[in-house]
Amino acid sequence: GEDVEQSLFLSVREGDSSVINCTYTDSSSTYLYWYKQEPGAGLQLLTYIFSNMDMKQDQRLTVLLNKKDKHLSLRIADTQTGDSAIYFCAESQGGKLIFGQGTELSVKP
């Protein structure tokens, strides 16, 4: 989506941390989301963050939000081969989700 931008590819080694970045434009977005999509599958809701928060941690996932710069990131600690997928950030506009282009994460053993 043109309102939400992500880098297209990221390659990491197993056990390293992965950081996927996203920028958005709608300053009125109150929640921002991260979804994971494996090949040929649906989108799995990973986590979300409220716009007045700076950080949210959920097991291996850490979301950082810089509201001033409209920058969102997803950090995956101890990345595993099973984490290989496309990761989408999304902002909600009145309920509908506006997605970024998706970042393809490749995890090498």
Partner 1 sequence: AAGVIQSPRHLIKEKRETATLKCYPIPRHDTVYWYQQGPGQDPQFLISFYEKMQSDKGSIPDRFSAQQFSDYHSELNMSSLELGDSALYFCASSLRLAGSRLYEQYFGPGTRLTVT
Residue with tokens 């090949």: 39
Task: Select 41 or 55, whichever has its Cβ closest to partner 1.
Answer: 41
Task: Select 31 or 77, whichever has its Cβ closest to partner 1.
Answer: 31
Task: Tell me how far the alpha carbon of residue 8 is from its chain's centroid.
Answer: 12
Cα–Cα distance, 1 to 100 (Å, whole number): 5
Catalog residues that contact partner 1 under the rule CB under 8 A.
1, 30-31, 35, 41-45, 48, 50, 88, 92, 94-102
CB of 106 to partner 1, least distance (A): 15
CB of 8 to partner 1, least distance (A): 10
What do you get for the CA distance between the two ends of the chain, in Å? 32
